[in-house]
Amino acid sequence: MSSLKPPPPNIKASHKLYLLGHANTGKTSVFNIITDSNNKVANYHGATTRLSKKTMTMHPEYEVYDLPGTYSLTGNSEDESLTLETLKNSDEDSSLIFVIDAVNLKSHIGNLKTFLAKFSELKRDVVLVINMLDEISDSEAEENLQKLKSKLKIPVHYISARQHTNFEELILTLADSKNRTPSPLSTIADRLALFSKDDFTRTVSPVSIKRMYTLDKYFISPFLGLIIFIVIMTVLFQAIFTWSAPFMDGIESLFIFLSEITTPLISNIYLKSFVEDAFWGGLGAFLVFTPQIFFLSFIIKTFEETGYLARASILCHRFLVFFGLSGESFIPILTSHACAIPGAYAARHIKSKRTRILTLLTLPLTLCSARLPVYALLITLLIPNTTLLFGLVGARGLMLFGLYLFGLMLTVFVSLVLHKTTFRKSTRPILAVELPRYQIPNFKLCFKNSLKTTYDFIRDAGFVIFATNVVIWLLASFPNGPGNLNSSFLARIGKFLAPLTAPIGLDWPETIALITSFLARETFVSTLGTLFGTDSDEILPLSELMAAQNYSVASALSLIVFFAIALQCVSTLAVLKKELPKKNTVYFLFFGYLAFAYTASFVTYRTALLFI
């Protein structure tokens, strides 16, 4: 295979290849293979909402652009507009690679004809790539290939991006792009018009179509569909805590072990305290929660590939419309459970501007992975490690599921308030989308991508966390040395600021941790790890150190509510500023959620004190 040869060195990309086509035809999968990338692929329409570019692995003179899929020629959504604008501004010597679906060939050929006719004034080199060869018979593929090649007079390739089939020939064709003469798109559109209604009609349906009809009977069924949806969502969020528990215990034990074997080797009291508390204690307190982030990411990525999420958005549509959102908001909201940033980008696919803005304003309230370490710590403090329902359900996992539900309730509540006030005059959004076929997820790819997500999470937050830990340790260890936390600089700062957070039940150490969490939420846990570690002679998990301080249940509940609402994420704020039509909205959003978080925490704390 040509892609196994090493690429020629120092060649600058001079020719652009644009991957275009209907949504969910596998453009990103093709992009990933020919550029050796790991861009996100998903089995629903609108998975790609941003432009990606990278040089071809074996032919660096070619730069490949992966564009969002298009249904429309009018740019009904932000991502479609981006594709149409890019195409309009493309150079004449660039090539257009249209990726279409072998199963829906008849319909996609019709769409391609309309698309090319719309841009009839352009002259470009065009390559037709028909993906999903694995879903149709060889005889059908051969017959259609001959028809298309003879009439269109452009390169046509049948491939399977899923099984990496026929990529050698495709790469050779793409590598020859700059040697071909561009054709007027109107000419290709005229040639496509030569195909009659009966061309590409098949007598036997592919297995994937039959599978879709069979499964949809259950998944979209009025009652059974809803029960299946609730069960899937419950298992999904329960699994995050349950599956990750042994790995978390392992990481915790490893850090305690490393701390126990390294600290006795150090004689300097300051260095010893730094290694034990700021390094192992602080970083360990944060890293112990990474298995949860991995499992969350793995579960969401797996579901994205099945095709079920598009069905789930149908089931949620009626419910979400009541709150001012729509079924199209479902995938951005679900994605935000991993991180609000991809969720905000996924919202680009929402066609109604009003629904898109409402989704963007409310998705920071979902329980994202940065909140997970904080909640996991507080749950460990609040809930004993027991099981319910004959050992089937873990009490801590159930609590976490409850917190996911709480995040969703907050999301729809805020959306309803905005829907009934700021957006009350807007027209109702409509839902009209194509449903993808079901497919078995590529578990290997999901695993690889989830590892990358976890690594990115550690890398992005790691520097902030380590730098914060160093500052916190310095302030906690001076002027009287380690072990004198109450007379440290940090205690003086904390006690000065504590009156601000006393109404919501926080003592000065949590106040300090809360302030650092505005850099990144997960810093809260590592700050407490360093802080409590500095104050203790023993090497223990953070939850045990906090439990030893007789941590108040009311304060823990107050913190949970504060973290559920406050928008403590600089990166999310930056992306929302870019995605929202009015840049100032993000400042209102930050201070609005801060005020809401403080008020709700105050009410929670005072109410909890009455009962506990």
Partner 1 sequence: MNLWDLNVNDSALVDEIKSNNPKNTSILRDLGLVKDSAVRCLYKTLLGGPRVFEINGIVCTLCCDSAKQVVVKTG
The span from the first CA to the last CA of the chain, in angstroms, equals 69
By CB under 8 A, tell whether 137 contacts partner 1: no
By CB under 8 A, tell whether 71 contacts partner 1: yes
Two tokens at 190? 């005229």
Closer CB to partner 1, residue 220 or residue 266?
Answer: 220
Closer CB to partner 1, residue 69 or residue 332?
Answer: 69
- Choice from 130, 159, 278, 315 touching partner 1 (CB under 8 A): 315
HSE-CB for 403 with a 13 A CA cutoff: 29
Q: Which residues, other chains included, contact 94 with Cβ-Cβ below 8 Å and sequence gap of 6+?
A: 15, 16, 17, 18, 124, 125
| Runs of H (alpha helix) within 206-324 | 207-219, 224-262, 269-273, 284-287, 290-306, 308-322
Closer CB to partner 1, residue 206 or residue 291?
Answer: 206
Smallest distance from partner 1 to CB 117, Å: 14
By CB under 8 A, tell whether 314 contacts partner 1: yes
DSSP 3-state of 255: helix
Residues 383-442 that bind partner 1 (CB under 8 A): 427-428, 430-435
Closer CB to partner 1, residue 435 or residue 470?
Answer: 435
**Where does this chain touch partner 1 (CB under 8 A) — which range of 172-180, 216-224, 230-238, 537-545?**
216-224
**Where does this chain touch partner 1 (CB under 8 A) — which range of 32-40, 248-256, 319-327, 492-500?**
319-327
Residue type, 498: A
15-20 and 52-55 as β-strands: parallel, antiparallel, unpaired? unpaired
Residue 270's closest CA among 38, 476, 562, 489? 476
Neighbours of 457 (CB within 10 A): 20
**Where does this chain touch partner 1 (CB under 8 A) — which range of 275-283, 314-322, 508-516, 599-607?**
314-322
Residue type, 169: E
- The whole-angstrom separation of Cα 362 and Cα 366 is 8
Give the dihedral of Cα atoms 546, 549, 552, 556; nearest 10 deg.
-20
Q: Which residues pair with 157 in a beta bridge?
A: 129
Smallest distance from partner 1 to CB 115, Å: 10
- Choice from 38, 74, 163, 487 touching partner 1 (CB under 8 A): 74
Smallest distance from partner 1 to CB 359, Å: 16
> Residue 537 in contact with residue 280, Cβ under 8 Å?
no
User: Per-residue string for binding with partner 1, 105-124, x by CB under 8 A?
Assistant: -xx--x--------------
Smallest distance from partner 1 to CB 310, Å: 8
Smallest distance from partner 1 to CB 223, Å: 7
Smallest distance from partner 1 to CB 22, Å: 10
> Residue 46 in contact with residue 53, Cβ under 8 Å?
no
Neighbours of 11 (CB within 10 A): 12
Backbone angles phi, psi at 460, to 5 degrees: -65, -45
Neighbours of 127 (CB within 10 A): 22
- Choice from 21, 26, 68, 225 touching partner 1 (CB under 8 A): 225
Smallest distance from partner 1 to CB 355, Å: 12
By CB under 8 A, tell whether 210 contacts partner 1: no
By CB under 8 A, tell whether 318 contacts partner 1: yes
Smallest distance from partner 1 to CB 433, Å: 6
User: Per-residue string for binding with partner 1, 79-108, x by CB under 8 A?
Assistant: -------------------------x-xx-
Residue where the block lists tokens 């090497």 = 539
By CB under 8 A, tell whether 340 contacts partner 1: no
> Residue 168 in contact with residue 59, Cβ under 8 Å?
no
Q: What is the DSSP string of 151-208?
A: HH-S-EEE-BTTTTBTHHHHHHHHHTGGGSPPEEHHHHHHHHTTS-TTTT--SS--HH
Closer CB to partner 1, residue 15 or residue 437?
Answer: 437
**Where does this chain touch partner 1 (CB under 8 A) — which range of 30-38, 129-137, 264-272, 317-325?**
317-325
By CB under 8 A, tell whether 281 contacts partner 1: no
Q: Site size for partner 1, by CB under 8 A?
A: 36
Closer CB to partner 1, residue 224 or residue 269?
Answer: 224
Two tokens at 519? 């850099």
- Choice from 72, 165, 484, 552 touching partner 1 (CB under 8 A): 72
- The whole-angstrom separation of Cα 497 and Cα 508 is 7
By CB under 8 A, tell whether 220 contacts partner 1: yes
Residue where the block lists tokens 């079920």 = 308
CA-to-CA dists, residue 200 to 98, 109, 203, angstroms: 18, 9, 10
Closer CB to partner 1, residue 315 or residue 556?
Answer: 315
By CB under 8 A, tell whether 211 contacts partner 1: no
**Where does this chain touch partner 1 (CB under 8 A) — which range of 59-67, 120-128, 315-323, 400-408?**
315-323
Which positions touch partner 1 (CB under 8 A)?
71-74, 76, 104, 106-107, 110, 212-213, 216-217, 220-223, 225-226, 310, 314-315, 317-318, 321, 326-327, 351, 427-428, 430-435
